[in-house]
Amino acid sequence: MKKTTILLALALTALVPLPTPAGDQAETTTFSGSYDWKDGGSDELSVEFVPDGEETWKVKFRFRWNGDRKTWKGTAQGTLADGSELSGTATSGNRNWTFVASISDGVMLGSHEEIRSGGGGYKTGTFELKR
C-alpha cells in the first residue's frame, strides 16, 4: 500500500508543472530581417525582445552600419502577437530613436525616427522583420 501511494504521488507530480522562478520564464523572442535608412543604406537587422513586465520588453537592435557592428538598447511596450502593435525607444550613445511597428502573420513592419536634441523627430527609415 505504501509503495502504491508513493508511485501515485510521483506520477501526479510529473503531470503537474511546478512553478519556476521569474528569471527562468524570461524567454527571448527574436525577429530578423532588414532595415532601410531614409538617406541611403540598408542591411540586416535583428531585434531581441526580453520580457520586462506585462506587455513591456527590453530590446536590443543588432545591425551593421558602414561595416561596423552596432547594438542599440531600449524598451518596447505592446505584445508580440499577430494583429498587435508595439512602440518603443532605443539609444546609442547620446542619440535617441523611437519606433512603431505592427505584426501580422509573423512579420513585423515598422518605422523609426531620431529624436533631435532641440525636440521633435526626424524620420530615419523603415524595417521588416520575421519571427
pLDDT in tens, 62-75: 999 888 999 999 99
- CATH no. for residue 29? 2.40.128.120
The answer to the question of residue 15 being in a domain is no
pTM: 0.77
DSSP state of 94: T
Assess if residue 2 is contained within a domain. no
Name the residue range of residue 94's domain: 23-130
Residue 3 inside a domain? The answer is no
Q: Is residue 1 part of a domain?
A: no
Residue 17 lies in a domain: no
Report if residue 125 sits inside a domain. Answer: yes
Main-chain dihedrals φ then ψ at residue 25, nearest 5 degrees: -85, -15
Distance CA 104, CA 91 (A): 26
Determine, yes or no, domain membership for 56.
yes
Q: Is residue 7 in some structural domain? A: no
**Who contacts 55 (Cβ-Cβ below 8 Å, separation ≥6)?**
77, 78, 79
- State the cell numbers at 108: 513585423
Query: Average pLDDT per run of 10 along the chain, which is 131 residues long?
Result: 45 39 63 93 95 97 92 97 96 93 97 89 95 92
Length of the chain: 131
Query: By percentage, how much of the chain surpasses pLDDT 90?
Result: 68
For the chain, counts of helices (H) and of strands (E): 2, 8
Number of folded domains that form the chain? 1
Question: Under DSSP, is residue 13 helix (H, G, I), strand (E, B) or coil?
Answer: helix
Residue 3: alpha-carbon gap to chain centroid: 49
Q: What is the distance between the alpha carbons of residues 82 and 108, in angstroms, rounded to a whole number? A: 9
Q: Give the integer Cα–Cα distance in Å for 42 and 1.
A: 70
